[in-house]
């Protein structure tokens, strides 16, 4: 196990990457420790197989019908929403608040 400071790591990161491939390396930063881990490859993310999934990346969150209902309600609400009020003066603000 090797414990180094952030300054030591910044001076020669390649040296410590190579050390992490062989053993455990920790970088001490203030009161915390960062474990330096060398991953051979990133974990695979499961993509949706649902043909009706609207996500270009295949995010599986959209496969749940409850989540799609939330999205559809938000789209419908945005179409029925009133346009935003533009308040430029104090009188506009008072008038708007009085109308609520």
Question: What's the pLDDT tens digit per position in 15-55?
Answer: 999 999 999 999 999 899 999 988 888 777 778 888 888 88
Considering the domain boundaries, does residue 48 fall inside one?
Answer: no
**C-alpha to C-alpha distance for 17 and 12, rounded to whole angstroms:** 9
pTM for the structure as a whole: 0.42
Phi, psi at 25, each rounded to 5°: -130, 130
Encode pLDDT of 47-97 as tens digits: 888 888 888 888 889 999 999 999 999 998 888 887 777 889 999 999 988
Domain that holds residue 12: 2-36
**Whether 71 contacts 60, CB under 8 Å:** no
Number of domains in the chain: 1
pLDDT bracket for residue 14 (50, 70, 90): very high
**Whether 75 contacts 81, CB under 8 Å:** no
Considering the domain boundaries, does residue 45 fall inside one?
Answer: no
């Amino acid at each position: 196990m090797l414990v180094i400071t952030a300054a030591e790591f910044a001076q020669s990161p390649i040296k410590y990457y190579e050390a992490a491939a062989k053993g455990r390396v920790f970088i001490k930063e203030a009161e915390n420790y960062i474990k330096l881990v060398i991953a051979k490859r990133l974990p695979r993310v499961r993509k949706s197989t649902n043909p009706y999934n609207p996500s270009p990346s295949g995010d599986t969150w959209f496969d749940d019908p409850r989540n799609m209902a939330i999205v559809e309600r938000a789209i419908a609400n945005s179409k029925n929403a009133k346009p935003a009020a533009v308040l430029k003066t104090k009188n506009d603000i008072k008038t708007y608040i009085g109308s609520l």
